[in-house]
Amino acid sequence: MKSRRRVIVWGPGEVGTAAIAGVLADDRLELVGVKVFSPGKEGRDAGELAGVGPCGVLATRSTEDLLALDADVVLLTCAASAIVGGLDDDVIAMLLSGKNVIATVAYHNVARSNWASAHRPAPAKLQEAAVRGGASLFGAGVHPSYMTERVAMTLAAGLGTVDHVRVVEALDFSAAPADMWGGLEAIGFGGAPESLGDDNMLARFGDMYYADLVANLAFGIRGAGNDDIRTETRLVGRPVAERLQLPQITVEPGCVGALHLTTDAFVGGDLVATNEEVWFLGAPNAFRGEDLPFEGWKQGLIGYTIEVRNSSTRLRSQIEYEILSPVNPVTQMSVRSLIDAIGPVCQAQPGVLIDDVSHQVRLDPRLGAV
| Cα–Cα distance, 357 to 145 (Å, whole number) | 11
What is the value of pTM for the model shown?
0.93
β-pairing verdict for 256-267 and 136-139? unpaired
The pLDDT profile of the chain, 370 residues, written as one tens digit per residue, is 468 999 999 997 889 999 999 999 999 999 999 999 999 999 999 999 999 999 999 999 999 999 999 999 999 998 877 887 889 999 999 999 999 999 998 899 999 998 888 889 999 999 999 999 999 999 999 999 999 999 999 999 999 899 999 999 999 999 887 777 778 998 999 999 999 988 888 888 888 889 999 999 999 999 999 999 999 999 999 999 999 999 999 999 999 999 999 999 999 999 999 999 999 999 999 999 888 888 778 888 899 999 999 999 999 999 998 888 888 888 999 999 999 999 999 999 999 999 998 888 989 989 987 7
Using DSSP's 3-state secondary structure scheme, residue 233 falls into strand
Distance separating alpha carbons of residues 303 and 309, to the nearest angstrom: 20
The pLDDT score that the predictor gives to residue 208 is: 83
Task: Tell me how far apart the alpha carbons of residues 94 and 133 are, in angstroms, rounded to a whole number.
Answer: 9
Residue 244 forms beta bridges with which residues? Answer: 251
Reduced to 3 states (helix: H, G, I; strand: E, B; else coil), residue 318 is strand
Over the range 290-328, which residues count as b (16 or more CB within 10 Å of their CB) and which as e? Answer: eeeeeeebeebbbbbbbbbbeeeeebeebebbeeeeeeb
